[in-house]
Chains A and B, each alone.
Chain A
Amino acid sequence: MAKKEYSFYPGCSSQKGASASNYQTSVDAMCDTLDIQLNEIPDWNCCSASIGYAEGGELPRIALTARNLALSEQANPGQDVVATCAACWLSTRESKDRLLEDSQLMKETNEALAQAGLKVQANQKIRHMVEVLIEDFGYDELGAKVTKPLEGIKIAGYVGCQTNRPFGIDGESFENPMYLDKLVETMGGEPLEAYDKKVQCCGGALAFSEPEKSQAMIKDIIESAYDHGAEMIVTPCPVCQMNTEVYQEHINKKYNTKFNMPVVYYSTLMSVAYGKGYKESGLDGQIIRAKKLEEISKR
């Protein structure tokens, strides 16, 4: 099969020494197996996630993402823009839609971009990596590359919010998306049948500003995974991953629980199932170690 190429928007958290650098590591390993070439958008900037709106306002926020699109059009013409971070994907896709439906906004955005000699058309498709996997490969093709099936591991597919709403993955429902469960199954693992918290919000950025309220929600997400027999949680979003992994000790103290649930990315599962090593799969980035995956990666 020919190599597939995409214009890649990695986002702040995926950088070296940043909170989701382990996500990027596993994405690289996964793409190596699938023969995907990610052409990084040169000099990309932050998308302002879902918290920059207050100070940023509307046009500056859209101009921010438009700059990335303009750079992508220049450097990687004709290629779909792919993001791995839920917030990056959402903000970029939202801006693109808004630019295309509002010619006044397009005009104003280009007026701002001209300050740096840039111009945007916003005519590229904006996609999440999960869409690339499902639509450009498909479960059968993804499964065909598995060399070390994740046999006997029960995994809770925690989809969360922003890869699911408002855009979501084509053909999936907002209330009960199945793609993560299908990916788990494709990798030889065992998805939970009735994980009722699969689309529960983790608090997102409010985990920082409203820690108590957010941790109450995070507690429910992890508790439900335990209640349904999960040994680990898998997620497609860097904020979901971080929120559900790093606060477990705080939650244990406050609620007298004994949580110690590893939370990994879909790309971590796939890298391990594709036979990549401990480090290549980003397993060294787990604060709560995913021991079952470590065992498989060492086999």
Chain B
Amino acid sequence: MADLNVAAIEKYRNNFLKEVEANVEEGEWVKMCMQCGVCSGSCPLGSAWDHPPQELFMMIRAGKREEVLTSDSMWMCTSCYNCVVRCPRGLPITHIMHGLASYALRLGLAPKNQPTRKFAVLFWENLVKTGRVNELKLGLNLYFMNGFIEGIKTALGMQKIGLGMWKTKRMSPMEFFGGHGCKDAKGLQAILKKAREIEDAKRQKFNS
């Protein structure tokens, strides 16, 4: 998607706000931020953000494209919606954060080793395979997402939790060999493929 990134830079040159409005989910709301900071103060992981939402909104308007899109910050969103219900201007902040993260990922700018980025991609890939999340495989993939040695360490650390889940029948080893899924997983995949095509085509149009 590096091409998409180059095309976007060319097209919007000095206007990152316009780029966000055209390409980021709910991005047209960014200009409405009045910099009160309630979102930043309401965020449960606020202290973990290099740039809390209010700051990201200002940076977008100031054209700090690279700093925003390569930031780790929006990946700290837990989707608690505190900011959304408290924002005096009614900005759908959670969705804008999701949108920024997703756009950065599409452009190839999201930080490579960001754990939530990795987990989010694993989650989507997992659900698309059968139409339903396979919790066992998702868990195993998660343990090993930072390499084999790390994975063994994590798996050992989680052993007791896994055992507890298994004993109470809240985890099934059978999920490893297939398990639950949609009968029409193929139909679902066709829907998602088409939806992705439509979304990409719209971005191409904006960017050409």
User: In the assembled complex, which residues on chain B have CB atoms less than 8 Å from the CB atom of A64?
Assistant: 188, 191-192
Q: Decide if B193 touches A210 in the complex (CB within 8 Å).
A: no
Q: Report, as a range, how many residues of chain B touch the other chain.
A: 35 or more
Q: Decide if A17 touches B131 in the complex (CB within 8 Å).
A: no
Kindly supply a per-residue 1/0 record for chain A positions 210-240, scoring 1 wherever the CB is within 8 Å of any chain B CB and 0 otherwise: 1001100100000000000000000000000
User: In the assembled complex, which residues on chain B have CB atoms less than 8 Å from the CB atom of A21?
Assistant: 169-170
Kindly supply a per-residue 1/0 record for chain A positions 100-117, scoring 1 wherever the CB is within 8 Å of any chain B CB and 0 otherwise: 000000001101111111
Q: Decide if B199 touches A12 in the complex (CB within 8 Å).
A: no
Kindly supply a per-residue 1/0 record for chain A positions 48-76, scoring 1 wherever the CB is within 8 Å of any chain B CB and 0 otherwise: 11111111111110111001000000000
Q: Decide if A60 touches B199 in the complex (CB within 8 Å).
A: yes
User: In the assembled complex, which residues on chain A have CB atoms less than 8 Å from the CB atom of B48?
Assistant: 210, 213
Q: Decide if A55 touches B82 in the complex (CB within 8 Å).
A: no
Q: Decide if B164 touches A246 in the complex (CB within 8 Å).
A: yes
Q: Say if the beta carbon of A161 comes within 8 Å of chain B.
A: yes
Q: Decide if A54 touches B121 in the complex (CB within 8 Å).
A: yes
Q: Say if the beta carbon of B10 comes within 8 Å of chain A.
A: no
Whether A54 touches B80, Cβ cut-off 8 Å, given contacts A43-B184, A115-B187, is no
Residue of A at shortest CB range from B157?
Answer: A250
Q: Say if the beta carbon of B124 comes within 8 Å of chain A.
A: yes
Q: Say if the beta carbon of B160 comes within 8 Å of chain A.
A: yes
User: In the assembled complex, which residues on chain A have CB atoms less than 8 Å from the CB atom of B196?
Assistant: 57, 59-60
Residue of A at shortest CB range from B105?
Answer: A54
Q: How far is the CA of A111 from the CA of B142 in the complex (A)?
A: 34
User: In the assembled complex, which residues on chain B have CB atoms less than 8 Å from the CB atom of A174?
Assistant: 85-86
Whether A287 touches B85, Cβ cut-off 8 Å, given contacts A12-B180, A58-B99, A116-B184, is no
Q: Say if the beta carbon of A39 comes within 8 Å of chain B.
A: no
Nearest CB of B to A286, in Å: 7
User: In the assembled complex, which residues on chain B have CB atoms less than 8 Å from the CB atom of A200?
Assistant: 44
User: In the assembled complex, which residues on chain B have CB atoms less than 8 Å from the CB atom of A62?
Assistant: 195
Q: Decide if A112 touches B194 in the complex (CB within 8 Å).
A: yes
Residue of A at shortest CB range from B134?
Answer: A12
> Which 3 residue pairs of A and B lie closest in terms of their CB atoms, listed nearest first?
A17-B172, A116-B187, A50-B79
Q: Which residues of B contact A (CB under 8 A)?
A: 25, 44-45, 48, 76, 78-82, 84-86, 94, 98-99, 101-102, 105-106, 110, 115-121, 123-125, 127, 131-133, 135, 142, 157, 160-161, 164-165, 167-172, 174-175, 179-180, 182-184, 187-188, 190-196, 198-199
